[in-house]
Structure 1
Amino acid sequence: MELISSAERNRLFESFTKDAFHLELRDDYSVPAEDGPYESWLRGEPVDYTYMAPWRQLIQHVTGAGKTVRRLRVVTEPHTPYIQWEHAATVHNEEAGEDIRWLPRHFLPDEVVFPLGGNDWWLFDDRLLAVGHFDADGRVLGSELIEAPQVVAECVRLRDLLWSLATPHREYKP
């Protein structure tokens, strides 16, 4: 399996035409750029969110061009400290133009089976998947690109189902 880097995956935002959708299934992420801000948040200190500037600029550019960027977080309740921090920081994603919803794991329909080994994925224009792969410590290894029509169709179906069940960020009270 060939993996692309996070930077290469982010370049996919330059080529999609309508919609980018991210399904997040993990209750903890070990993203190196977040280590310091997350630790500050855990200690109750002010958090420097400047590390998010490149992402915010990218999303502002994309959504300013009329494209949508959506994110659905399937989370366990009660939340891990990381998800609590992520919820507190979501305002920055939304200010950039992302539409974010939350779905507690215990509200998942019984028939839901996550494709792609239960990994997170980005779906671009209902035609291309960038599937995230992680190491044993939760660090991102890279993304696998998949265009197989049956796999993409299953992810589109799952996205539509879960999005309809999820709660918009502003209404979700952990």
Structure 2
Amino acid sequence: MIVSDQEFDALLTGFDHSAIHLETREAYGTEIELPHMAKWAAGEPDDLEWLQGWCATLREHAAAGRTVRRARLVSEPLSDYQRWSHSIAHPMVEAGEDIRWVPRRLLTVPGHVTMLPANDFYVFDDRVVVFFTYAGNGLVTEKIGSTDPRDIALCRDAFEAVWKLAIPHRDYTPH
């Protein structure tokens, strides 16, 4: 099923217990982020005011005992997008999102290869998974939802396998 932006926003703000998010791309092209990344690339300051709505939502989740975990798969050295993303993650972590970094080299160890779904995803409360498909420029082309227990289990298990290898934001030094 196709998930609209409004339906996704409702999932992102209205889950009961947990949201897990796996990011697999080297760069994204969200319309909200691009101008801020351009400022960063030009060495201009950014007060990160544009992140405050998300940070407020994260604080609400944390206060209610809900968890939000994000694992970012990255190649090293990091892409410009990932270096920028690392530079702005602190307010989200302070607000309650557990962001972790997973160098791709950790995913392919002989005898322990980590297999993953082909697309980024969120799993909400182990009841729905939302997959993101992207155009080559990093913009989301569609969000596809599933309540199939097999899809949810596959994504949850893949996320947890990655999470075991993940480095907390405060401990990860970009290369």
TM-score for the superposition, normalised by structure 1:
0.92
Q: Check conservation: 1:122, 1:129, Cα contact below 8 A.
A: yes
Q: Check conservation: 2:119, 2:133, Cα contact below 8 A.
A: yes
Range with greater deviation from structure 2 (13-22 or 31-40):
13-22
Q: Which residue of 2 aligns with 1:32?
A: 31
Q: Which residue of 1 aligns with 2:155?
A: 155
Q: Check conservation: 2:114, 2:161, Cα contact below 8 A.
A: no
SS in structure 1 of the partner of residue 20 of structure 2? strand
Q: Does 1:112 align with 2:114?
A: yes
Counterparts of residues 5-44 of structure 1 (less than 5 Å): 5=5, 7-44=6-43
Deviation at 1:133, TM superposition (A): 1.6
Aligned mates of 2:163, 2:119 — CA distance in 1? 17
Q: Which residue of 1 aligns with 2:101?
A: 102
Counterparts of residues 18-167 of structure 1 (less than 5 Å): 18-109=17-108, 111-115=113-117, 118-167=118-167
Q: Check conservation: 1:13, 1:62, Cα contact below 8 A.
A: no
Instruction: Kindly report structure 1 stretches of 4+ aligned residues shifted beyond 2 Å.
Output: 109-113
Seq. identity, %: 36
What amino acid maps onto 1:172 in structure 2? Y
Deviation at 1:77, TM superposition (A): 0.5
Q: Which residue of 2 aligns with 1:171?
A: 171
Aligned mates of 2:70, 2:3 — CA distance in 1? 22
Aligned mates of 1:106, 1:46 — CA distance in 2? 33
Deviation at 1:86, TM superposition (A): 0.3
SS in structure 2 of the partner of residue 60 of structure 1? helix
Aligned mates of 2:80, 2:19 — CA distance in 1? 27
Aligned mates of 2:149, 2:85 — CA distance in 1? 32
**For each residue in 1:111-139, what CA deviation from the matched residue of structure 2 results, as whole angstroms up to 9, or x when unmatched?**
32222xx2110111122101112123211
Aligned mates of 1:144, 1:11 — CA distance in 2? 15
Deviation at 1:18, TM superposition (A): 1.2
Q: Check conservation: 1:41, 1:47, Cα contact below 8 A.
A: yes
Q: Check conservation: 1:37, 1:48, Cα contact below 8 A.
A: no
| Structure 2 spans left out of the alignment, 5+ residues | none
Aligned mates of 1:102, 1:76 — CA distance in 2? 10
Aligned mates of 1:103, 1:136 — CA distance in 2? 22
| Structure 1 spans left out of the alignment, 5+ residues | none
Could you say which structure has the higher helix fraction? Answer: 1
TM-score for the superposition, normalised by structure 2:
0.91
RMSD over aligned CA atoms reads 1.4
